[in-house]
Amino acid sequence: MSAEKPKEEKRCRVGAFLCVPDTRPTRIILWLVAIAIVSFVIGFGILAASGAFSSGAGHATTPFSKTAWILSNTTEFPLDGATAGNVSVNMGAGEITLNGGAADNDLLEVTVFSKAPEWQPEYSSSLEGLVKTVRITDKGHTGKAWFAVDSTNRWEIRLADRVPVAADVRIGAGDCRLVLGTLNLTSLDVHAGAGDTVIDFNGYHGGRFDAVIMHGIGDLTLRIPASGNFRITVVQGVGDIAGTGFILNNGAYTPVGFNPALPVNEIFVKQGVGVLRLEMV
Amino acid sequence: MLQNEQEYIRILRDRLEGTLPAEDLEDLLSDYREHFRLGKADGRSEEELFRSLGSPEEVAKEIRATHLVKKAEHTCSCRNIFHAVVATLGLGLFNLVFVLLPFLLLIAMLLFVFVTGVVFTLVGPAAFVYALLQLMGLPAFSIWLSPLAGIFLSVGITAIGLLLIIGDYYLARFFYLLGIRYLKWNIRVITGTVNE
């Protein structure tokens, strides 16, 4: 009996809660558990403290960088004295973000995120009188290996805020986010094949423009300022139109602050398959 | 149709030779001979004795399965448990569902846990190195949102990987013992000795 007692005490020495055998493997396991817990607590604590998990950070659930292994390349197109611009963007597949915020002397800046430098799009620019034209065209998958077809192809485009711009955005497949509230548009053409598209006019105080939005398959969200003079004509294929607060008049949607006596920004939307969301902001 | 006792014994010997140790086999066969001898002494015919014992092929299968399960119980090894499972499969076609399927699912689960553990154990140090490179300012290796956090998280990932591998070992041992008990119960049910 006396020989059994030390063994019993040894068994329960590790802790009152964990009455496990105090053997070498047990100690290793407990050490590993402790290391894992402490490491994760400190690691995620650092991330939380640095704001990486905040809602605006865009990395809500992962400690990994979204741009891991992705090379970025920024190209700037100066105004060269132009007072207006034509911007044409043509992407085969990927993700486009277009908004204001280019440097004062630039018509636009493009940052391309991709896995290899040779996948950069083709650029062309010309100046005719006081109008600068810039074209950004995807070279397609011809230069990409078979294993890279689904790899990242993201273009972040920043346009000049003060210069009147005619924008033409075409995307075959992928998501498209156009935040145009700070821009001064003269026209807008958007052609999207498949994917979700968000076009945000929140805060728009630029000149009058006409917009044509041809959307194939996917959801389309239009954010229209409540006080803006916008009129949206919709030809809807298969899918619902979700929108509250808009006034439907002769097949066109207008926000509550619409005034026909003032210049009207006309938006024509043709939607194939998917939900059209009209959001008043 | 069996002719006589000698033929019964011969078939048993043929089926069990190589599976049972020679000494055990001889003991077993002498038990059967004794059974025949006592039966005959009681005035029972050979045909009656054959019927009560069952066919020698089926008896050999049952003995073989029981022996291999016991062997797997005494000496834990992949080879032994595999032989035990195969021998038990031979007792009935329905064991494809009741033995083979759970066995394969268990192997798949243990393999999955092991591979995950190995991947974590290998990825952890690699991620640790990349966190250090990122701290040194090499943007091409910036896989972490925060390299400092990455150092701690990669240590955690490695620890989780090692825990998975160790856990898989204990899980395999647990299921090995559970599997042996299940095979023994399965044999008892099939041979009708469950209540004996």
Give the per-residue SS3 of B37-60.
Answer: HHHHHCCCCHHHHHHHHCCHHHHH
Q: Report helix, strand and coil shares of chain B as percent, to nearest 5.
A: 80, 0, 15
Dist. CA B143–CA B180, nearest whole Å: 46
Task: Report if residue B131 sits inside a domain.
Answer: yes
Dist. CA A262–CA B28, nearest whole Å: 107
What three-state secondary structure class fits A198? strand
Dist. CA B46–CA B67, nearest whole Å: 27
Domain count, chain B: 1
Q: What is the pLDDT at residue A21?
A: 63
Q: Which domain holds residue B108?
A: 93-191
Q: Are residues A193 and A251 in the same domain?
A: yes
A151–chain B nearest CA distance, Å: 16
Q: Are residues A251 and A213 in the same domain?
A: yes
Q: What is the pLDDT at residue A41?
A: 94
CB B140 within 8 A of CB B152: no
Q: Are residues A51 and A124 in the same domain?
A: no
Q: Report helix, strand and coil shares of chain A as percent, to nearest 5.
A: 15, 45, 40
Contact B152 A40 (CB under 8 A): yes
Q: What is the pLDDT at residue A1?
A: 41
Q: Model confidence at B196, in pLDDT bands (50, 70, 90)? A: very low
Q: Model confidence at B175, in pLDDT bands (50, 70, 90)? A: very high
Task: Report if residue B101 sits inside a domain.
Answer: yes
Dist. CA B81–CA A214, nearest whole Å: 65
**Phi and psi based region of residue A74 (left: phi greater than 0; alpha: psi -120 to 50; beta: remaining):** beta
Q: What is the pLDDT at residue A108?
A: 93
Contact B156 A40 (CB under 8 A): yes
B147–chain A nearest CA distance, Å: 9
Contact A40 B143 (CB under 8 A): no
Tokens representing B123 are 């990825």
Q: What is the pLDDT at residue A31?
A: 92
**What is the DSSP-derived secondary structure letter of residue A144?**
S
From the CB of residue A212, how many other CB atoms can be counted at a distance below 10 Å? Answer: 15
Q: How far is CA A70 from CA A143, B4, B142, in A?
A: 17, 81, 9
User: Could you say which residues of chain A have pLDDT below 70?
Assistant: 1-22, 52-62, 65-71, 115-119, 140-152
Q: Are residues A112 and A210 in the same domain?
A: yes
Q: How far is CA B60 from CA B8, B14, B25, B46, B80, in A?
A: 11, 9, 11, 19, 18
Q: Are residues A23 and A87 in the same domain?
A: no
B74-91 pLDDT per residue, tens: 998 989 999 999 999 988
Contact B143 A64 (CB under 8 A): yes
Q: What is the pLDDT at residue A147?
A: 36
- Please indicate whether residue B43 or residue A143 has the higher confidence score (pLDDT): B43
pLDDT of B132 over the 60 cut: yes
Distance of CA A30 to the CA centre of its chain: 44
Dist. CA A262–CA A208, nearest whole Å: 10
Q: Are residues A91 and A142 in the same domain?
A: yes
A41–chain B nearest CA distance, Å: 9
Which of A23, A53, A65 is the best substitution to test chain B (most B C-beta atoms within 10 A)? A65
Q: Which of A36, A37, A46 lies closest to B149 in CB terms?
A: A46
Contact A63 B144 (CB under 8 A): yes
Domain count, chain A: 2
Tokens representing A280 are 């008043």
Q: Are residues A52 and A86 in the same domain?
A: no
Q: Are residues A267 and A136 in the same domain?
A: yes
Task: Report if residue B80 sits inside a domain.
Answer: no
Pairing label, strands A153-159, A106-114: antiparallel
Task: Report if residue A65 sits inside a domain.
Answer: no
Q: What is the pLDDT at residue A69?
A: 59
- Predicted ipTM of the assembly: 0.73
Q: Are residues A16 and A110 in the same domain?
A: no
B76–chain A nearest CA distance, Å: 19
Whether the CB of A73 is below 8 Å from some CB of chain B: the reply is no
Q: What is the pLDDT at residue A16?
A: 47
Q: Which residue of A has its CA nearest to B134?
A: A68
Contact B156 A36 (CB under 8 A): yes
- Please indicate whether residue A184 or residue B193 has the higher confidence score (pLDDT): A184
Contact B159 A35 (CB under 8 A): yes
Task: Report if residue A85 sits inside a domain.
Answer: yes
Dist. CA B89–CA A105, nearest whole Å: 80
Dist. CA A120–CA A114, nearest whole Å: 7
Q: What are phi and psi of B160, to 5 degrees?
A: -65, -40
What three-state secondary structure class fits A171? strand
Task: Report if residue A155 sits inside a domain.
Answer: yes
Q: Which of A35, A42, A68 lies closest to B142 in CB terms?
A: A68
Q: Are residues A121 and A155 in the same domain?
A: yes
Task: Report if residue B48 sits inside a domain.
Answer: no
Q: Which residue of B has its CA nearest to A50?
A: B146
Task: Report if residue B39 sits inside a domain.
Answer: no
Task: Report if residue A63 sits inside a domain.
Answer: no
Contact A65 B159 (CB under 8 A): no
CB A217 within 8 A of CB A191: no
What three-state secondary structure class fits A199? strand
User: Of A245, A248, A217, which Cα lies nearest the Cα of A232?
Assistant: A248
Q: Which domain holds residue A166?
A: 71-280
Contact B163 A32 (CB under 8 A): yes
Q: Are residues A106 and A11 in the same domain?
A: no
What three-state secondary structure class fits B9? helix
**What is the DSSP-derived secondary structure letter of residue B100?**
I
Tokens representing A5 are 């007692």
B139–chain A nearest CA distance, Å: 9
From the CB of residue B34, how many other CB atoms can be counted at a distance below 10 Å? Answer: 10
Pairing label, strands A276-280, A241-243: parallel
Dist. CA A47–CA A41, nearest whole Å: 10
User: Of A202, A157, A158, A151, which Cα lies nearest the Cα of A174?
Assistant: A151
Q: What is the pLDDT at residue A14?
A: 46
Q: Are residues A44 and A95 in the same domain?
A: no
**What is the DSSP-derived secondary structure letter of residue A120?**
P
